[in-house]
Amino acid sequence: MAKMNLLQAVNNALDIAMAADDKVICFGEDVGSFGGVFRATSHLQEKYGRDRCFNTPLVEQGIIGFANGLAAQGSRAVAEIQFADYIFPAFDQIVNESAKFRYRSGNLFDVGGLTIRTPYGGGIAGGHYHSQSPEAYFAHTPGLKVVVPRNPHQAKGLLLASIRDPNPVVFFEPKRIYRASVGEVPEEDYQLPLGEAEVTREGSDITLLAWGAQMEIIEKAAEMADKDGVSCELIDLRTILPWDVDTVAASVQKTGRLLISHEAPLTGGFAGEIAAAIQERCFLYLESPIARVCGLDTPYPLALEKEYMADHLKVYEAIKASVQF
Amino acid sequence: MAKMNLLQAVNNALDIAMAADDKVICFGEDVGSFGGVFRATSHLQEKYGRDRCFNTPLVEQGIIGFANGLAAQGSRAVAEIQFADYIFPAFDQIVNESAKFRYRSGNLFDVGGLTIRTPYGGGIAGGHYHSQSPEAYFAHTPGLKVVVPRNPHQAKGLLLASIRDPNPVVFFEPKRIYRASVGEVPEEDYQLPLGEAEVTREGSDITLLAWGAQMEIIEKAAEMADKDGVSCELIDLRTILPWDVDTVAASVQKTGRLLISHEAPLTGGFAGEIAAAIQERCFLYLESPIARVCGLDTPYPLALEKEYMADHLKVYEAIKASVQF
Amino acid sequence: MSTATRERAVHQLEFMRGDELQIPTYKVVKQDGTPYKGAQVPDLDQALALKIYRSMARTRVLDERMLAAQRQGRLSFYMQSTGEEATTVGFAAALEDDDMIMAQYREQGALVFRGFTLDEFMNQLFSNEQDYGKGRQMPIHYGSRQLHYMTISSPLATQIPQATGYAYGQKLAGDKRCTVTVFGEGAASEGDFHAALNMASVLKVPVIFLCRNNGYAISTPSSEQFAADGIAPRALGYRMHAIRVDGNDVLAVYAAMQEARRLAVEENEPVLIEAMSYRLAAHSSSDDPSGYRSKKEEEKWREKDPLVRFKNWLLKRKWWSEEEDSALFERERQAVLEALKAAEHRPAPMVDEMITDVYDQPTAHLTEQLEQLKAHIRRYPDAYPKTSGRIDHG
Amino acid sequence: MSTATRERAVHQLEFMRGDELQIPTYKVVKQDGTPYKGAQVPDLDQALALKIYRSMARTRVLDERMLAAQRQGRLSFYMQSTGEEATTVGFAAALEDDDMIMAQYREQGALVFRGFTLDEFMNQLFSNEQDYGKGRQMPIHYGSRQLHYMTISSPLATQIPQATGYAYGQKLAGDKRCTVTVFGEGAASEGDFHAALNMASVLKVPVIFLCRNNGYAISTPSSEQFAADGIAPRALGYRMHAIRVDGNDVLAVYAAMQEARRLAVEENEPVLIEAMSYRLAAHSSSDDPSGYRSKKEEEKWREKDPLVRFKNWLLKRKWWSEEEDSALFERERQAVLEALKAAEHRPAPMVDEMITDVYDQPTAHLTEQLEQLKAHIRRYPDAYPKTSGRIDHG
Ligand SMILES: Cc1ncc(C[n+]2csc(CCOP(=O)(O)OP(=O)(O)O)c2C)c(N)n1
Ligand SMILES: Cc1ncc(C[n+]2csc(CCOP(=O)(O)OP(=O)(O)O)c2C)c(N)n1
Ligand SMILES: [Mg+2]
Ligand SMILES: [Mg+2]
């Protein structure tokens, strides 16, 4: 085991993947000799050469178009989009191409080797365009997998699994905790399963569900609630698509309550999908409405970021409202 | 009043808007002298000149980028995207630019004059790329309005309102019923309100909610249910964003049941948002889980389109399941 | 630092627009089949020449018959490539069989040349259970792994940067193979075009960009698509090798592609080829060009028929005769009709195929959706005739 | 029909790559302030020359002080334009005050020239309640309706097609005004660049595309951004007027923009100007260039300081003296510091501003979200110190 922060864990996963398989190729804006603006690809060009780790021109639609072709050819294309806010120029290549490549060809061709890594989320004084959490845009797209890790250990295992998964994966990295989240990470090669949520804390009164950097927030809120004698069960969804409805439903059938929290705006966010599916599965078990604590329905602000965010206090208040319903 | 089909109603609305205001400008692929591949812009170039109705080069991101600039300048830019399936290259210009233009500038600048018209939806043997219903991708984007008309009368009134609304609007036109939907349409200039749902049929046992071409489907299902003695209340949401939660909640508080149907895949579709919001507002009124009858979670198929679609039989079965819960 | 400039200073204000830049069109033979004076005629033997011609002929017949079938309501949709067969067959003929082709949708000539059978065409066109694409895409969205022909997808230009990526993989693998991507002059307006060419030239990738400039994108004439002299001058903006060829002259297309392939494979130099031609037919079976262009204009181009031109050359060489020609066309017509008849009655794919290939394996959630769907079809078998008969067996 | 070609046939296979195409750089004065021999020096009077110089000086000082303030933790983020002031001030000086500017983010020089006050800069940089942008975007995202300067947005290149659209509107309105959009050589790789230039040249729009080629996009040198000789050759692919200028020579930039404006406004001809310069500072306050380029390279460019060059010219003309220069810089430093101090303590925008401007009017739904938020802040006033104090009054 080694102590790593989340960035180091990502870097370590890429290093292991490239060492283990010549077909793994990393690229994107500034990812070459510089190692990426967050340094997630540090030293990879040095180790594996300019052919396997390189800068691209500044064109996201090109990066993912290129990556789709490279994956179709049989390589494991690991493309970085510098900020998730800048993934939208590549939206067509992802939603119309990556997601539908296998299906439309009847499995003659696929881009299963594709992984798109991108830092997402707020809380870093980034305003509109360095703060977005666009996972829901992708979660409405059959054919994609969407993964978000919450800490270094998860990041390494889930990224290795994503790179090797035979389906295109959009891998969102919680940049607010890139350096703040530090933990023990096995040095060896390991994978964590995609499509499986994890119960990170058991409890009996209410289920709190989140992913990525938001896990920290719901943990903090759960501790506050604990002091009030409210026992929270915590679930990290980990994979947003395809998502693990069974684990969530089992938990809600036990606790009778569900709160979902994400950073993205409320309306049309993925919490809506979860709430809809769970009210259907757990209708007779629910003791209060499923609560959603999310970003406001505005673009991401700067000066009033603190007010905007779904913080632990808002989650805590929502827990109270739910148990007192 | 005149008998018009939905396409004629759209064309008539554009004609009236252009006649009434010099600042209305229509453009897109093939919309010029040809009048668009569906002929929605027929004769507009003839009437208003090449400066105000013209072909663009084949580049959706350019069309909407151009439209954003034109709207910022003070024109009423009415851009056509030939099929909603091809709107994704413009996703960045819509989601990062149109939607945030006013907010980010503190109202110094805005693109309120922008309207994006685009035919959406399946049932026309179009396969993956001439069938999609991407409204949910836009409904997660504060700053946009998203509108879908169900018939010629609605199309004209809602399109005129959209063009004149001081906010950017994505206007989805149900192409399956472009010609099939025929009805009486006032010849004069009129507008129907954005942001308001409409109860198109009153009932007492269950609320059925849809929009666009799907309204026909739930009407047919409601007739079948009627024969079983189940009284359905029908609501056309009309505006997907911002949506009219009050009208829907009032109806569900009356009927105790809600079924939402849309063409797009289930997961991450807008029905999820509605279900999540309504279970919160109407928790104590709900007699059965909110049902969603939607497309399967696959890309849009061709040969098995009939099987894929959320048709009246599937809606009818879901009504029965809901009332028998 | 690295601003690419080999700086040369001037002190007078002078704008340039490239008007001096004239990109000529490479042509080998005239319409009557005689080579232009001093023309560089590519070296190809009779077998290959006839294979090319037969492929062009089959493409022509296929297009004619299938449009007719569409008009009869036997087929939902079709797209002809009439007038452009020299381009689509000629480029394929200059490639190795396992060079990758990533085309737009009007390149059936290349598939014919590579040996896609009439049955294979028909199965796709009729979305039947033998369609490799499992009946999921509209007619003309062919693909063949065996023939290194990427399945067509409707969104325009998306395949262009993909070709750059595919070729990058070929280069890294040391395959000595290239990727050819084909697209229209309309599609070249998309942002993906710019991305693809710039990336290819920076990354030195063995990819060939073949633009079919056929004058129209649906109803939009190229004069409303771009203001420049075609697409070829754009290559210079990327410092990429470029050539313009007469797209109705199969020998010119063949020769240009041969040399382009050499540049790509041996020197990792991407190349842009602009093939000048004309879309003689409607854009698709849904289109009627009389709304946007004149019969006269069409007639002018009909006289430049690429099949006639190449046939004339073959006749002059005595590699072919009018008798053989009539027999060939007759045979092809028969063959197409037979294949059509066989394919149109094959059943649709099983309902189970609805959820395969979304992922490598169906997820639990998809399996559940399929089971619900099957239960529903069993309840209303008449409403879903394509699948209900084979839902519980087969 | 309309394939744009003025056809010229050739019969030998020949590829071109544009290597013969050499785009020179227009320069007016040398670093020591003397004009090049025979140079075409633009005609500008002393008042304008000094206004340009003072704007360059203020920009330089602002950049220096604000980076220092960022380093002191008084500011979250900053971006310097050091080394590029001749480009950003020079282009603005050649425009009419109500020509529209749609810039990228490193063009504060143009804003200074147009009279954006130090207070206005500071209010934006400190996201306070007087920021026109209501504290919603990161520092340096300035905008001014009064000064016809479009609010900056972070996504690169999006403003380029927007400029084409804006200019189209100006043309239709008969304004006799143009739009200038500025962007980096990195941003020029985006698909939006291609879309914008092609549309502008087809639609004949009074727009000027000013590319600041400063050698880098963050860490990526232009040699990994494109393979061609800079950005200017791309214009020829759209049949658009183009010129390359020495971006460190304010007179060259001014002269080129003046003529470009004439072409745009009088002839509806879009123009591309490529200004060659160098990003002397780090990309932003978050960046450290020592990881990707040498001090030596930076030094080489520091010697080409555009302020020194223009000052030398002014000195030679006796329009300016070293004494005036020192006094100017001293005054500017003071003024910047005063404005900074005043702005940094102004309060943040009210919480009510959270929901304004999402739409022209707050929706019922947003009003409800705001009310809930206010109730929450009242419950935990200490957790939201920026807004809690002013939530029930003000
Ligand atoms: C992204 C996208 N936008 C629009 C369309 C609709 N469309 C299909 S073909 C076509 C015209 C293409 O013209 P061109 O590229 O010149 O090819 P050609 O048909 O002439 O062979 C259009 C606009 C599409 N398929 N994809
Ligand atoms: C669409 C998009 N992708 C990536 C970024 C991140 N980014 C900000 S500035 C920059 C480099 C821009 O370089 P250039 O255009 O040359 O301008 P310069 O900084 O040199 O002035 C990058 C990659 C962004 N803002 N927007
Ligand atoms: Mg064409
Ligand atoms: Mg730069």
Diameter of chain A by CA atoms? Answer: 60
Partners of residue C366 in chain B, C-beta under 8 Å: 296-298
SS3 breakdown of chain D: % helix, strand, coil, rounded to 5? Answer: 45, 10, 45
What integer pLDDT is reported at residue C18 of this predicted model? 82
Looking at ligand 2, which atom is closest to the CA of residue D155?
Answer: 26
Residue A191 placed within a domain: no
State which residues form the domain around B294.
Answer: 198-323
Which CATH superfamily includes the segment(s) C22-31+41-280+293-344?
A: Thiamin diphosphate (ThDP)-binding fold, Pyr/PP domains (3.40.50.970)
Q: Which two tokens stand for residue D27?
A: 């320069």
Domain ranges of chain D: 22-31+41-280+293-344, 351-383
Q: How far is the CA of D340 from the centre of ligand 4 (A)?
A: 28
Count CA atoms closer than 13 A to D272's CA, side-chain side: 34
Residue D338: closest CA among D28, D61, D15: D61
Q: Which two tokens stand for residue A33?
A: 């000799």
- Chains meeting A at 3+ CB pairs closer than 8 A? B, C, D
CATH of the domain at A250: 3.40.50.920
Using omega within 30 degrees of 0 as the cis cutoff, is the peptide bond preceding D139 cis? no
Query: pLDDT tens across B277-316, in order?
Result: 999 999 999 999 999 999 999 999 999 999 999 999 999 9
Which residue is catalytic, options A60, A97, A219, A273?
A60
Q: Specify the number of domains making up chain A.
A: 2
Residue A192 placed within a domain: no
What integer pLDDT is reported at residue C6 of this predicted model? 57
Query: pLDDT tens across A270-294, in order?
Result: 999 999 999 999 999 999 999 999 9
Q: Give φ, ψ of A149 to 5 degrees.
A: -90, 155
Please tell me which of the candidates B91, B276, B292 has its beta carbon nearest to residue A92.
B91
Q: In what order do the strands lie in the sheet with D241-246?
A: C9-10, D25-26, D241-246, D271-276, D207-213, D179-184, D100-102
Name the E strands within D45-188: 100-102, 179-184
Radius of gyration over every alpha carbon of chain A, rounded to an integer in angstroms: 19
Please tell me which of the candidates B85, B96, B272 has its beta carbon nearest to residue A276.
B272
A272 Cβ contact list (under 8 Å, min separation 6): A266, A292, B272, B273, B275, B276, B277
Point out the residues of B that are catalytic: 60, 130
CB B146 within 8 A of CB B136: no
Helix C191-203 vs helix D191-203: angle between axes, to the nearest 10 degrees?
120
Judgement on whether residues B116 and B50 belong to the same structural domain of the protein: yes
CB B220 within 8 A of CB B195: no
What integer pLDDT is reported at residue D6 of this predicted model? 57
Radius of gyration over every alpha carbon of chain B, rounded to an integer in angstroms: 19
Q: To test ligand 1's pocket by mutation, which of C106, C218, C223, C277 has the most ligand atoms within 8 angstroms of CB? A: C218
Residue A275 placed within a domain: yes
- Which residue from C minimizes the CA distance to B128? C137
Q: In Å, how far is B294's CA from the nearest CA of chain D? A: 26
Judgement on whether residues B142 and B287 belong to the same structural domain of the protein: no
Partners of residue D194 in chain C, C-beta under 8 Å: 189, 191, 193-194
Q: To test ligand 2's pocket by mutation, which of D88, D156, D185 has the most ligand atoms within 8 angstroms of CB? A: D156
Q: Using the beta-carbon criterion (under 8 Å), do C384 and B32 form an inter-chain contact?
A: no
Judgement on whether residues A103 and A157 belong to the same structural domain of the protein: yes
Q: Is C245 helix (H, G, I), strand (E, B) or coil?
A: strand
Rounded to the nearest 5 degrees, what angle is found at the Cα of D167, between the Cα atoms of D163 and D172? 150
Tell me the sheet residues that pair with B24.
B76
Residue B146: closest CA among B273, B276, B14, B243: B243
- Which residue from C minimizes the CA distance to D27? C11
CB D212 within 8 A of CB D225: no
Looking at ligand 1, which atom is closest to the CA of residue C279?
Answer: 20
What integer pLDDT is reported at residue D5 of this predicted model? 47
Q: Using the beta-carbon criterion (under 8 Å), do C386 and B127 form an inter-chain contact?
A: no
The closest residue, in CA terms, to atom 12 on ligand 1 is C217
Judgement on whether residues A31 and A176 belong to the same structural domain of the protein: yes
Helix C118-125 vs helix C46-71: angle between axes, to the nearest 10 degrees?
30
Residue C280: closest CA among C84, C69, C36, C118: C84
Cα–Cα dist A206/A234, whole Å? 9
Concatenating the DSSP letter of every residue in A206-245 gives: EEEEE-TTHHHHHHHHHHHHHHTT--EEEEE--EEES--H
CA distances from C73 to B17, C66, C70, C329 (A): 39, 10, 5, 24
Q: Using the beta-carbon criterion (under 8 Å), do D169 and B59 form an inter-chain contact?
A: no
Q: Is A3 helix (H, G, I), strand (E, B) or coil?
A: strand
Q: In Å, how far is C288's CA from the nearest CA of chain B? A: 10
Residue A28: closest CA among A71, A60, A65, A74: A60
Residue B190 placed within a domain: no
Query: pLDDT tens across A90-114, in order?
Result: 999 999 999 999 999 999 999 999 9
Query: pLDDT tens across C30-67, in order?
Result: 999 999 999 989 999 999 999 999 999 999 999 999 99
Judgement on whether residues B42 and B166 belong to the same structural domain of the protein: yes
Cα–Cα dist C272/C236, whole Å? 10
Please tell me which of the candidates C154, C355, C383 has its beta carbon nearest to residue B129.
C154
Q: How many CB atoms lie within 10 A of CB D282?
A: 18
CA distances from D29 to A148, B267, D51 (A): 56, 64, 18
**pLDDT above 80: residue C394:** no
Mutate: best of A58, A129, A316, partner D, most D CBs <10 A: A58
What integer pLDDT is reported at residue D2 of this predicted model? 41
Q: Is the minimum CB–CB distance between C384 and chain D shorter than 8 Å? A: no
Q: Which two tokens stand for residue A85?
A: 């806010």
Judgement on whether residues B179 and B219 belong to the same structural domain of the protein: no
Residue A128 bears catalytic tag: no
Residue B255 placed within a domain: yes
Diameter of chain B by CA atoms? Answer: 60
* Ligand having the closest approach to the CA of D187: 2
Q: What is the mean pLDDT of residues A156-183?
A: 98
Q: Residue C334: what residue type?
A: Q
Q: What percent of chain A has pLDDT over 70?
A: 100
How many secondary structure helices (H) and strands (E) does chain C include? 13, 9
Judgement on whether residues B166 and B207 belong to the same structural domain of the protein: no
Cβ-based contacts under 8 A for chains B and D? 153
CATH of the domain at A82: 3.40.50.970
When the pLDDT of each residue in chain C is averaged and rounded to a whole number, the result is 96
What integer pLDDT is reported at residue D18 of this predicted model? 82
Query: pLDDT tens across D259-297, in order?
Result: 999 999 999 999 999 999 999 999 999 999 999 999 999
Q: How far is the CA of C288 from the centre of ligand 3 (A)?
A: 15
Q: Is the minimum CB–CB distance between C291 and chain D shorter than 8 Å? A: no
What integer pLDDT is reported at residue C1 of this predicted model? 37
Residue D148: closest CA among D127, D128, D170, D123: D170
Q: Is the minimum CB–CB distance between C166 and chain A shorter than 8 Å? A: yes
Count CA atoms closer than 13 A to C296's CA, side-chain side: 0
- Which residue from D minimizes the CA distance to C259? D13
Q: Which two tokens stand for residue D39?
A: 């140079």
Judgement on whether residues B177 and B231 belong to the same structural domain of the protein: no
Partners of residue C362 in chain A, C-beta under 8 Å: none
Radius of gyration over every alpha carbon of chain C, rounded to an integer in angstroms: 23
Point out the residues of D that are catalytic: 279, 283, 292
Put residue D268 in one of left, alpha, beta given phi > 0 → left and psi -120 to 50 → alpha: left
**pLDDT above 90: residue C19:** no
Please work out whether the CB of residue C372 comes within 6 Å of at least one atom of ligand 1.
Answer: no
Q: Is the minimum CB–CB distance between A308 and chain B shorter than 8 Å? A: no
Please work out whether the CB of residue C38 comes within 6 Å of at least one atom of ligand 1.
Answer: no
Cα–Cα dist A272/A78, whole Å? 30
What integer pLDDT is reported at residue C4 of this predicted model? 43
Q: Using the beta-carbon criterion (under 8 Å), do B267 and A290 form an inter-chain contact?
A: no
What integer pLDDT is reported at residue D393 of this predicted model? 61
Query: pLDDT tens across A213-254, in order?
Result: 999 999 999 999 999 999 999 999 999 999 999 999 999 999
Judgement on whether residues B242 and B279 belong to the same structural domain of the protein: yes
Ligand 2 pocket, CB under 6 A: A 29, 58, 60, 82, 86, 89; D 106, 154-156, 183-187, 212, 214, 216-218, 279, 283
For tokens 């994978």, name the residue: A191
Q: Residue B29: what residue type?
A: E
| Last residue within a domain, chosen from A185, A216, A238 | A185
Q: Which two tokens stand for residue A255?
A: 């606790």
B140 Cβ contact list (under 8 Å, min separation 6): A136, A137, A264, A265, A267, A268, A269
Query: Exposure pattern of A245-262 as b/e (b: 16+ CB <10 Å)?
Result: bebbbbbbebbbbbbbbb
* Ligand having the closest approach to the CA of C81: 1
Predicted structure pTM score: 0.98
For tokens 């290149």, name the residue: D157
Radius of gyration over every alpha carbon of chain D, rounded to an integer in angstroms: 23
DSSP state of A97: I
What integer pLDDT is reported at residue D21 of this predicted model? 79
Q: Using the beta-carbon criterion (under 8 Å), do A57 and C161 form an inter-chain contact?
A: no
Q: How far is the CA of D264 from the centre of ligand 3 (A)?
A: 30
Judgement on whether residues A96 and A146 belong to the same structural domain of the protein: yes
When the pLDDT of each residue in chain A is averaged and rounded to a whole number, the result is 98
Q: In Å, how far is A278's CA from the nearest CA of chain B? A: 9
Residue A108 placed within a domain: yes
Judgement on whether residues B35 and B172 belong to the same structural domain of the protein: yes
CA distances from D264 to B230, C224, D259 (A): 67, 20, 9
Q: Is the minimum CB–CB distance between D217 and chain C shorter than 8 Å? A: no
| Last residue within a domain, chosen from B185, B220, B243 | B185
Please work out whether the CB of residue C216 comes within 6 Å of at least one atom of ligand 1.
Answer: yes
Q: Which two tokens stand for residue A312?
A: 């632990």
Cα–Cα dist C259/C90, whole Å? 13
Please work out whether the CB of residue C184 comes within 6 Å of at least one atom of ligand 1.
Answer: yes
What integer pLDDT is reported at residue C393 of this predicted model? 61
What integer pLDDT is reported at residue D19 of this predicted model? 83
Tell me the sheet residues that pair with B169.
B115, B145
Q: Is C80 helix (H, G, I), strand (E, B) or coil?
A: coil
What integer pLDDT is reported at residue B105 of this predicted model? 98
Residues (pLDDT < 50) of chain D are: 1-5, 394
Element (H, E) at B240: strand B239-241
Please tell me which of the candidates B35, B54, B57 has its beta carbon nearest to residue C189.
B57
B256 Cβ contact list (under 8 Å, min separation 6): B205, B206, B285, B286, B287, B288
CA distances from B254 to B203, B224, B229, B285 (A): 9, 21, 17, 8
| Ion ligand 3 neighbours, Cβ < 5 Å | C 184-186, 214, 217
Please work out whether the CB of residue C164 comes within 6 Å of at least one atom of ligand 1.
Answer: no
Residue B34 placed within a domain: yes
Please work out whether the CB of residue C141 comes within 6 Å of at least one atom of ligand 1.
Answer: no
What integer pLDDT is reported at residue C3 of this predicted model? 44
Cα–Cα dist B289/D284, whole Å? 53
DSSP state of A113: T
CB D83 within 8 A of CB D250: no
Q: Which two tokens stand for residue D249?
A: 């020579």
Using omega within 30 degrees of 0 as the cis cutoff, is the peptide bond preceding B242 cis? yes
- Chains meeting D at 3+ CB pairs closer than 8 A? A, B, C
What integer pLDDT is reported at residue D281 of this predicted model? 97
Residues (pLDDT < 70) of chain B are: none
Q: In Å, how far is A90's CA from the nearest CA of chain C? A: 10
Judgement on whether residues B26 and B173 belong to the same structural domain of the protein: yes
What integer pLDDT is reported at residue C254 of this predicted model? 98
Q: How far is the CA of C218 from the centre of ligand 1 (A)?
A: 7
Residue B127 placed within a domain: yes
Element (H, E) at C322: helix C322-344
Q: Is the minimum CB–CB distance between D192 and chain A shorter than 8 Å? A: yes
